Every structure is written in C-alpha cells, then in structure tokens.
Structure 1
Amino acid sequence: MGWQVQIVHMSRLSVYSMLPYSEPDAPPLLVAIWTTTGGLSLTSPPQLFPQYLRFPHRPHIIVASEKLPNQLAVMVDDPTAPGGKRLTFTGLAGNIMDIVSKKLNLRYTYVRPPDGTWGTLQRDGTWNGMIGLFIAEKAEMTPGPFFMGYARSKVLDYSSSYISAVYQILAARGSPKVDPWGFLLPLTPLVWAALMTALLAVIIVMLILPSWLPLDSNQSSRIEPNIFNCVRVLLQEDIKKTTGWWWWERVALGVWMMIMVVMTQSYTGNLMSLLAVRHIDHPYQSLEDVLDHGVKIIIVENTNLLPYFRLAESGIFRELGDLLGTDRVVFNKFSELPSSMRTIVRDGTHVLFEADLTHSKMIPPEFSLTGRCDFYLSFSTYMPTPIAMVTRKNSLLIPGLNKVAEVLVESGLYRYWLFTSQPNSTTCNNPPKIISVSTVLALSNVWGMFVILGGGFLVSLMVLLMENVVAVGRYGR
C-alpha cells in the first residue's frame, strides 16, 4: 500500500492511497483531504491506516496448496485460463477458500509447489516446497492445514489457529491369536491370596477348636487327617472317611466345600469364555516400541518434524534424528501415504508417524473397502501443534484471515467437515484388542494346560526318584 500527497493549494492537501493487490494501471484512492479551515477529513475508507478485513475492489491473489488425503487437486474447464484448464482443490482447502473469498472479497488462483511438499529449512539455509513459493513471492497465502513452528514463523505469518493436531503412530493390527495361557487369567494374584487365606482360616479352625473341647485319644488322632481333608477338597480329591465327627468339624468342612464348589463353577464358566477369545496385537504404542522392535518408520518429507529431529540433543527425537539418512526412516510425500499404508504398513514391516488429522482421513476409506479395521493408532501422542492459514511475511491478509479462523472455530465448521467428508469416519477410532469367536476346541487352545500337566507329572517323577534314593541310602533297600 503506497501513499501520495497532492498539494492543490497551500490551504488544501489531498491524500491518496494505492490499495493493496491493485492492478498496475489502477488509479489511487482518495482517502483524506486537509484544509486550513476544516482540518483533516477522511473520505474512503473511513480509516487513514485501515485493517483490510474486506477489500473494496475484489483483488486477485495466488494461493498455494497441495494434495492431502482430505483435499484433492482437480483440473476443471475454464475458457479464461491458459490451456482452457484451471487448477482447483476439493475438500477442506476448497471449503476454507470459499469462505475467505467471500469474507475478504477477493479472487484467487491455485498454484502447487514444484516438489509437492510443504517446505522445510535446508542445510544451506534455504527453504523448499510451499514455503519457498512464499519467499520467492510466487504465492500470497495457503489455507493450510499448516503446522505452526518457530523456524517457519521467521519467514511466514500465521493467522489465528483454527484447529490443533498431535502426532501418532499408525500401524497394522495383528491377526487374531489364541492365548494358550488364557486359562490362568481368572486366577489373578488377588484370587490366589483370597483362596489361600480362606484355606488357612479353615485349618486354624480345625486346630484351635479341639484345644477347647475334651477329646479322647481317637478324636485327637484325627485332627491331622481333617486338616489334610481341607487340602484334598481344594485339589478336588475325595476325603478320608472318619468316624465320630463333631458337629463343628462337619460345619467347617462343609463351608469349605461350598466355597470350592462356587470357585470351581465360576472358574469353569470363565474358562469356557476365554477359550472363545482371540487376542489382536497392538505392539507399537510409542516411538520407543518402534525403535526397540527394529521396524521401519515412514515420515512425510519436508515437514515441520524434521528440524526437531535434527536439532534434538537428547531423548527419543534425538534417537530418530540419528536414524535420518538410514534405511530405518522412509520419506513419503503426502500423496504417497495412502499407497504406503495399503502395502508396506499393512504387512507390518513399516509404521507411519504423522498427524492424527491425516490418519483420520486415511483409515475410514480402508474400512469402507474391506469392512475391517486393519490399522490402529498408538496411545502415545507427540508434539501438540496448532494449525493455521499462512501468508507471506507482513501480509495485509492476516487481519481478514484471523476473522475467518475465528468463524471456523466458533461455528465448529472445520471439525464438522473433518467428520462428514466421508463415511465411517469414526468406526475404527478404538478397534478392540480382544474378540470372541465360535469355533471347535483345538490343541492350539489348550496346549498350555497339557504343559502344566506334563510339568506336574515330571515333578512327581522327580520326587518319587528322590524318595527312592533317600530310602536306599537310609535303609539300604
């Protein structure tokens, strides 16, 4: 915006302004007149230094954008465009620019970065991708989604944020597997503790009560067998027959039998349920898991992540930075992510580390095609980052774009577009790790039980051999 002062007479001054984004031959706009008698009076616009929330002359600007899973580049027929074709974007970018053009009263033409990336700082200090277009003044703004960052803020201007994102790991879910040790799951440490406490209580009763009662020699000699009867009930064995039982002995042993019946029936019911359960592995819940398992990681090239990896001095980002340039890190463009997800991520050899907004647009189409949730997102999240529209440095578009961002936030339009742009948008948000099936009993379900049975037989055999060795050593036979 330029200023021009015209002195008509020493008693009269006219102030003209060249409006931003005006055509080269456009006449300046008279904005103020000063006279000796009337002082300074404004004409149009009503402010001498206005914030352009809406441009009066509908200027034309160049808008940079790039393909994402939720916004596609399309060539449409336009007789006024070179070659009769004009680039446009569908999805979120197109929706945002529709509002920007109406609110700010401007026209726009799309342009794509030559390398198809958003841009990052190179080792020689230059910027590539979309940011390079802004620095070279080949584009004026982008609707985003553009992740904010300190390095980018030195060469760009951000509007107010209209949404935020976090980075997560996207990985393939494992196939349903049988847990052969599932029969141990109902017997938690707390259950074992309660069971042993109850057994100890019954044994104490068997030991204490006889000391308060007069017993003959026959009755006192069966105290030890009664204690072993409690253990035999726990092991589902028959009890030794005794004669002349006291009533309290029958009550104590009867209560213990009832406890064992309830425990046995409860365990049997849980065991039948567990035999129908299949477990699905979700092994990569953090970047540490990814590095420990040796799996390869996919990162979008020339994004806001790379400076953090390269400059980190410690922690997991430092470990990732050390892997840059090796075969453990694979760089993809945004347009290549869906293809990579269907191939190398699905087969389990790679994982994708990217923003949750990107994941939310790639997983639903896969479910629509296959009817299955073949992917999951990690519990661990990284780098909460605000997202905004971006302009060249010191652009006069920022005040108007801030208003548009406020509209997107207050109305909830952007989130609405995210969740309604395609079907099944939330179906696979929390895929189950455990499923139940109807199938016949197989050795794969119960081989853990046979391992314990065989282990018990082996221990019994070892004890038998040791008893024979001790007997031979003591008695010579």
Structure 2
Amino acid sequence: MLLSSRGFTADRYRNNTALYITRAPELTEPVGMWTRSSRLNIADDDLFNRIDSGFGNITIVVGTLPAEPFIIKLDNGEYEGFCIDILDELALRLNFRYELTEPEDGLWGGMNPDGSWNGLVRKTMDKEFDMSIGPISLTAEREEVVDYTTPVMEDGAGIILRKFEDTYGKIFRSFKPFTLNVWITIGFVLLAVGLILGFVDKVSPYRGKTSEIGQKIKTTSVADDIWIVYGSYMEQGTEFTPSNASGRFILGFWWIFTILIISSYTASLAAFLTVAFFDKPIKTIDDLTSQSEIKPLVKQGSNLYTLLKKGETERYRKLYELLQQAPEVTNKDDAIKLVLTGNYAYLTDQSQLQFLQKEDCDQLILGEEPFNSGGIGFIVTKGSPLLSQLSYNIIKLQEAGLIRKWTQKWWVSTETCTEDGVTNVVHSLELSTTSGPFIAFAGSTMLALICLIIEHICFRFKLLSCANKQRKMTVDSEDSISNGEL
C-alpha cells in the first residue's frame, strides 16, 4: 500500500513528495519509502522473499552414500541414479550448484551408545553438509535433529536371499504336471473302467464271436480287460478287444479321455521341465525368526539396525538376537557376497532389494511381505532456509509425473523375475531332471522280478502238490492191484 506526504511551492508545484510503502492489511508498519531525491529505499529485506528467485546460483554441499539404484557411484567418481535425477532437476529449478561428498564413516545415520549421531545425519547436524540425499528413512528420532523434505517415495524393509534349488522336486519333476490327487484319481479310474469293461463283457449276450458253428473264440477275463484299459491309456495296442458294442462304446470314450489327459500332461510337462524351480525357505520376517539356520544381515548404522536394536516388538527382539550371530556388514556388496556363499538373508529397503534381484535374478530371490513401511526423503540442517523451497518443488515434481518417470527408469529391467521364485529362462533337460521316470521304471522292474519269484515259488509248490497226489494215486493203485491178487 502506498501513502503520500507532500507539500507545495508558491507556484503550486509539489515539493518534498514522499511515498511510503506499508505492509497490508495493517497499514501501520512502513517497509520502504520513495522520494524524488533518494528514490526507492526498502527497509525490510524480507519483503520479496515470496518471489521465486531460487538460491541465487549458490553452491551447496550435498552428502550421500551409494545405494543402488538411488545413488550409483561410477568408476570415474561421478554419481548417477534416481536421487541424482531429482537433485539435478531441483538444481535447475532453484538455480543452485552442488558438490557431492560422502561421510568418512560410510554410515547413513544412527545413534551411538553415548547418544551422539553418526553418518550423514551427524554431518548434516553439524552443518558440514547443507543437504543429504538418498533412501533416508523418515524416523521420529532423526526428525528431532534434522529436517526432512517432503518424502520422494514410500518404501519398506524387505528380505533377499539366495535361491535354494528344490533338489527333491527336481528328481520327480516329470510327475509335477499332475498333483498327487490327480495321479491317484487316474489310477482308480483306470481300475474302475477295467472292472466295468469286464462286467459288460461277461453279461453281454454278444460277449464272444464264433469263427465256425459250435466253435467259440476265447473270451477275455477281468484281468485282460484291465490290461486293455491300461494299454489304451499308455497308447499301446493289446491282443484283446471287446467284441460287443457296449464294451466298444466304453472303450471308445476311454480313448477320448486318454487323449485329453495325455495332451494336458504333455503341455504341462513341457513347461515344468524347461523352467527352473526354487525353494523359498524364508518368505516373511516371522519365517526368519522361527528358525536358526539362516542368519539375518543388516547394515550397521542404518535405520533398520537401530529399529531392531531398540526391540520394540517380540519379533524385532528375536531378529536382533539372530543378527548378533551374523557377521557385521557396512555396505551392500559385502552383504550380497555373504548371501550368495552362505546361509544368510539380507534385510534393507525393499526398493533396493528389487533392484538387486533384477541385477542377478538367477541367484537371488525376494521375500513376500515387506515390513516397517514408511517414507524416505532428503534431510537438511535443522531450520535450514532451503527446506521450504525443496519440499515445494519435490511436490511439483510428483505432480508433473517426473518422480514416476524416474522410478520406471531405474527399476525396470529386461530380466523377468517372477514372485514365486521361478526364473523364466529355458534350460536344457539334465539327467537329474528326467530321473523320475527312470526311478519309477526301475521300481516297477523290481516289483516284476519279485512277482516272478513268487510265481516260481507258487508254481513249484503246485508241482510238488501234483507230484504228491500222483504218487499217492500210484501207491493206491498198486495197493488195489495187490489186494485183488490176494
């Protein structure tokens, strides 16, 4: 609001004209004045703070740590990644330059036993860093010592471990196209159809044929009928076939059933034999705490490590006890090496784990349920004048769809990893993969040999019995002859 104070000369011209600038709506506090001699003079330096002039091309020190794909450190010392894309856009919009640096201890920021802070949080508190970027989890403790910008995304902690190959399932994979219930049902149906076919063949008036009058061809037994049904199922011909229409009707529909079943089996078998299946022993954090063979790994100084150490819940306390039995890790590379070579599970942000899995889909597998979900964002010194502009422009980036664009850029991969631990890569069949049918055939051969031995034993008993009867008949005949002669 402009207020004037002026006088007039003898010639009625304005003299000593002054225009006062006051702050609305009170109109009582002058913030500047304009006069003919001194021109404009602004007394309040904060008057134009609302004008978006950026940071005036200043250079700010930005702290960070490698955490793929948020921050990726290249061999030449440069950085790229999801957070770098955001930082570059903010620098362009707010007119500032930046220098990236890392804390000497290589930690994100946790509380030491003496109550002091370390890592990025400490450096930001001490104003050595004007700002720190990366997947920095928003926590109440950190909020007390630094200021957070608007979260750039929501995230949670997840579990990643190496793939444990299902050795038992690999041997009998040839039988996996059907479940056990289906195999049992097929066996019962095969037996039932054989019995029904035998019954029809016995009661039908046209159960046999005659080649000549009075000379009848041999009819099939129930065992023969079951063998006919089994041979049809295995797509093998048999010597006997029903001669009556009702039997042929049953057998004809059985052939249709056989074609459908075998076609379904063959189609499923092709998929099961060419896809690698892996066991997932740890799916949730509760699975991890309920066993002792696989030990958890968590980066020292991370928010998750602090959370587990506090032990606010029973499962966090159990997890921390297991954590004390595992080696200490301070970076992702050491953790992944331990995971791939031993019985360890690495716990960190789910978004980082998804990126790691896509980089090595053949060896790594994710858990199913993330936990400790929350926001991640950037931090600045407590009370920093940078905060409001940074938060405002991060919201603008989200509204413009740029955050989503960069998310797709850094988390999309050409490698396809499915959620159930199956890698969609075709493999040549190995003997271990097809050994199931060989084992089944070997087992059936052993049973056949046992049956053969039993048949020989029964046959010998039968021969012995017949010989004894013959000997007895001979003795009785000789006795009769002797008595007659006497």
TM-score (norm 1): 0.68
Q: Which residue pairs with 2:346 in the alignment?
A: 352
The alignment partner of 1:248 has SS state of: helix
How far residue 132 of structure 1 moved from its aligned partner, in angstroms, is 1.5
Tell me, yes or no, if the aligned pair for 1:69 and 1:338 is still in contact at 8 Å: no
Q: Which residue pairs with 1:19 in the alignment?
A: none
Tell me, yes or no, if the aligned pair for 1:52 and 1:397 is still in contact at 8 Å: no
Tell me, yes or no, if the aligned pair for 2:194 and 2:227 is still in contact at 8 Å: no
Q: Which residue pairs with 2:223 in the alignment?
A: 228
After superposition, the Cα gap between the structure-2 partners of 1:116 and 1:473, relative to the gap in structure 1 and judged at 3 Å, is same
After superposition, the Cα gap between the structure-2 partners of 1:95 and 1:241, relative to the gap in structure 1 and judged at 3 Å, is closer
Distance 1:34 1:251 in 2: 101
Tell me, yes or no, if the aligned pair for 1:148 and 1:385 is still in contact at 8 Å: yes
**Residue type of the partner of 2:62?**
V
Distance 2:28 2:58 in 1: 32
Tell me, yes or no, if the aligned pair for 1:168 and 1:355 is still in contact at 8 Å: yes
Q: Deviations for 1:299-332, whole angstroms, at most 9, x for unmatched residues? A: 2221110132123355543322112332x24322
Distance 2:434 2:100 in 1: 63
Q: Which residue pairs with 1:186 in the alignment?
A: 177
What is the identity percentage for the equivalent residue pairs of Structure 1 and Structure 2? 19
Distance 1:443 1:38 in 2: 92
Q: Which residue pairs with 1:13 in the alignment?
A: none
Q: Which residue pairs with 1:27 in the alignment?
A: none
Q: Which residue pairs with 2:303 in the alignment?
A: 304
The partner residue of 1:140 within 118, 125, 130 is: 130
Tell me, yes or no, if the aligned pair for 1:282 and 1:376 is still in contact at 8 Å: no
Q: Which residue pairs with 1:450 in the alignment?
A: 438
After superposition, the Cα gap between the structure-2 partners of 1:255 and 1:68, relative to the gap in structure 1 and judged at 3 Å, is closer
Residues 39-438 of structure 1 correspond to what in structure 2 (within 5 A)?
Answer: 39-42=28-31, 61-70=60-69, 71=71, 90-106=80-96, 109-173=99-163, 179-188=170-179, 189-190=181-182, 192-193=184-185, 196-197=188-189, 200=192, 203-204=195-196, 207=199, 225=220, 227-236=222-231, 245-260=243-258, 263-264=261-262, 267=265, 273=270, 277=274, 279-281=276-278, 283=280, 285-286=282-283, 287=285, 292=291, 294-312=293-311, 314=313, 316-326=315-325, 328-333=326-331, 337-338=332-333, 341=336, 343-359=337-353, 362=356, 373-420=362-409, 425-430=412-417, 432-433=422-423, 435-438=425-428
Q: Deviations for 1:29-50, whole angstroms, at most 9, x for unmatched residues? A: xx98589x96234557797796
Q: Deviations for 1:226-264, whole angstroms, at most 9, x for unmatched residues? A: 543442123328767599x43222322343345445545
The count of corresponding residues between Structure 1 and Structure 2 is: 418
- Of 464-473 and 110-119, deviating more is 464-473
After superposition, the Cα gap between the structure-2 partners of 1:32 and 1:398, relative to the gap in structure 1 and judged at 3 Å, is farther
After superposition, the Cα gap between the structure-2 partners of 1:54 and 1:324, relative to the gap in structure 1 and judged at 3 Å, is farther
Q: Deviations for 1:360-414, whole angstroms, at most 9, x for unmatched residues? A: 55566x67xxxx8544433333332211121233433332122121123123333
Q: Which residue pairs with 1:79 in the alignment?
A: none
Tell me, yes or no, if the aligned pair for 2:54 and 2:95 is still in contact at 8 Å: yes
- Of 104-113 and 461-470, deviating more is 461-470
Tell me, yes or no, if the aligned pair for 1:234 and 1:260 is still in contact at 8 Å: no
Q: Deviations for 1:163-220, whole angstroms, at most 9, x for unmatched residues? A: 1223333344468989231221233323642663475367457647977x7799999x
How far residue 142 of structure 1 moved from its aligned partner, in angstroms, is 2.0
Tell me, yes or no, if the aligned pair for 1:230 and 1:253 is still in contact at 8 Å: no
Tell me, yes or no, if the aligned pair for 1:165 and 1:355 is still in contact at 8 Å: yes
Q: Which residue pairs with 2:468 in the alignment?
A: none
**Residue type of the partner of 1:407?**
K
Distance 1:242 1:116 in 2: 81
- Of 459-468 and 59-68, deviating more is 459-468
Distance 1:108 1:254 in 2: 81
Distance 1:197 1:62 in 2: 76
Unaligned 5+ runs, structure 1: 1-30, 77-86
The alignment partner of 1:352 has SS state of: strand
RMSD: 4.9
How far residue 436 of structure 1 moved from its aligned partner, in angstroms, is 3.3
The alignment partner of 1:251 has SS state of: helix
How far residue 115 of structure 1 moved from its aligned partner, in angstroms, is 1.0
Distance 1:174 1:446 in 2: 19
Q: Deviations for 1:29-76, whole angstroms, at most 9, x for unmatched residues? A: xx98589x9623455779779679656766665433233344356999
Unaligned 5+ runs, structure 2: 1-19, 33-41, 211-216, 466-486
How far residue 147 of structure 1 moved from its aligned partner, in angstroms, is 1.2
**Residue type of the partner of 1:428?**
E
Q: Which residue pairs with 2:481 in the alignment?
A: none
Distance 2:28 2:263 in 1: 99
How far residue 148 of structure 1 moved from its aligned partner, in angstroms, is 1.1
Distance 2:272 2:74 in 1: 52
**Residue type of the partner of 2:306?**
P
Tell me, yes or no, if the aligned pair for 1:346 and 1:374 is still in contact at 8 Å: yes
How far residue 426 of structure 1 moved from its aligned partner, in angstroms, is 0.8
